[in-house]
Amino acid sequence: MGRIYAKKAHDVLMSFEGNENSGNSWEHKGNKYFWNIGNEQEQGAITGGIHVYCQEDGTPDPTGEYARRKGSFRIEANGKITRAGYGMKKHLNKDGVGYAINS
């Protein structure tokens, strides 16, 4: 069985526009990041991790073959983005519908 999320939260996450064909990666301040979905939330929110590509020793490197966790994101069931750092929120819902951090 797949994960179950609120439609508004899912729509916001699916609005993500990355820099590549992978659909979940982007560049921010010279580093390359990607997101992945975490555990299912009872309220219908979507949560997940934000990771940076790096070298084996953890030094950020956009061409690196390794990754380390840098933070997390959360999109509430109503579609509000309450946590999304490292430039991720700039890639969510670019059509101007008006979702925003803590609004």
Domain residue ranges in the chain: 7-91
What is the pLDDT of the chain when averaged over all its residues?
84
Are the C-beta atoms of 91 and 84 separated by less than 8 Å?
no
- Model's pTM, two decimal places? 0.82
List pLDDT tens digits, range 64-89: 899 999 999 999 999 999 999 999 98
Going across the sheet that includes 66-75, the strands are 25-28, 31-37, 46-54, 66-75, 81-84
**Phi-psi label, residue 85: left if phi above 0, alpha if psi -120 to 50, beta otherwise:** beta
